[in-house]
Structure 1
């Protein structure tokens, strides 16, 4: 673009006053051999506002689940809450029929790492820990987040795993700085998990989100500091490490071809935030 052209992002500003300094800085990093995002991966001001509306509904859905989740309910009831609340507020549950997924939410209990399928025969019991992963489409824009819930009194090992997972996500957020790297987030998360005797699932990670359910980049949580893609203002992705009590290895349920289990039957926990990289830091959009 020419310096005095209106910026491609639709801000109404001239290119030289908007994305030109950002893209010039990206070029300098690219010349040093670093991985930089494409222009398509940088959300425009209009897109950001629309995605934030989706994110607000996504958070409200999780708040609704938090009101009603309890010992003795079955996970199909959680699915009903998510579907009904989302539809009543003009949204669509993103997981429903996504690549054949049969429900509106993922409910992963104890040794299930992710993609647990709600079922009327799965009853929440005293001592269970459950990850509820909600994703929402509102007016064509996508958002994503998950929370851990403890059913009554849980074991000391479950309490500690969830606490460390919360700390990992917090440290990941602190490491998500503009002009840093995705590897900085990974290092902060992985090093803290390992220091506490836990492992981080390697093959499943975070992802870009907003215009689609899953976009580039893939967000690993086991790569070295200073590696992976440059963090540029306008990038939007999830921070959602899966922290395992034992081995990071897993297997997928052969019957439903979705639910992911720990290989050693150990507990697993996950917390997911959706974030936006800004010029002065990081903004949490969902949690």
Structure 2
């Protein structure tokens, strides 16, 4: 496994990419409301990426048709924006987006509530987001990918949630997906040791029920097998000698 080690200059370029991606997410969040469609969100994202001088990372990737992945309720990841998908009060929508600036990628996801959501669903979002923050704290030189994954797994399984295993996080840099894979489960002290200059896209995908997922006939959209809600949060994080640096915060 050849893991690309980035120079401080490359990490700064990825930070600039991440700053644009953060602004895209802020614009999209404003479009999340009852009655809006996932295509409305897509149009906002596409306009913002263009305005900020970046390129969408997802559109055209393996023939994917959009800038965003918009996954509603029991959709885990890779939901395709559609003018027919109307958001309702109480829904949640996971928005995954990546941009390319100056040849460097950034990748981040957030799950947004649509209006007011149930306490159970709010807990799913809160725990998933907290598990990402816990995983980021493990991004220290000398720690392992097992430490990162275990942080997510321990927190989410303690709440009775299912940790998706079919999809994982990844290295990122001049390509969207680089080595290593970054699972959201693992054993502490096991797996690849973290070194300064690695950059990881860490992305817990957590289901309210079973961890089992399946991909729909469109070839993209992954859904929970039991129909339970799913949340997805992601940041692009650099490993440095001074600890984790979140490039998409």
SS at match of 1:41: coil
Q: CA deviation at 1:68?
A: 2.7
- TM-score between the two structures when normalised by the length of structure 2: 0.97
After the TM superposition, which parts of structure 1 deviate over 6 Å for at least 4 consecutive aligned residues? none
Q: CA deviation at 1:51?
A: 1.3
**Correspondence for 1:15:** none
2-side partners of 1:267 and 1:55: how far apart?
28
Choose which of 158, 162, 167 in structure 1 pairs with 2:125: 162
**Correspondence for 2:25:** 62
SS at match of 2:149: helix
Gaps of 5+ in 2: none
1-side partners of 2:141 and 2:209: how far apart?
33
Gaps of 5+ in 1: 1-36
SS at match of 2:247: strand
**Correspondence for 2:227:** 265
Q: CA deviation at 1:45?
A: 2.1
Q: CA deviation at 1:46?
A: 2.2
- Tell me which of the two structures has the higher relative contact order, counting C-alpha pairs closer than 8 angstroms and 6 or more residues apart: 2
* Matched residue count: 249
Q: Residues 149-190 of structure 1, C-alpha deviation per residue, up to 9 Å, x if partnerless?
A: 101111121111011112211211122211110100111110
**Correspondence for 1:278:** 240
2-side partners of 1:224 and 1:199: how far apart?
17
2-side partners of 1:283 and 1:204: how far apart?
24
**Correspondence for 1:233:** 196
Over aligned residues, Cα RMSD in angstroms? 1.1
Q: For the pair shown, which has the larger CA radius of gyration, 1 or 2?
A: 1
SS at match of 1:82: helix
2-side partners of 1:175 and 1:141: how far apart?
24
1:174 counterpart = 2:174: no
SS at match of 2:137: helix
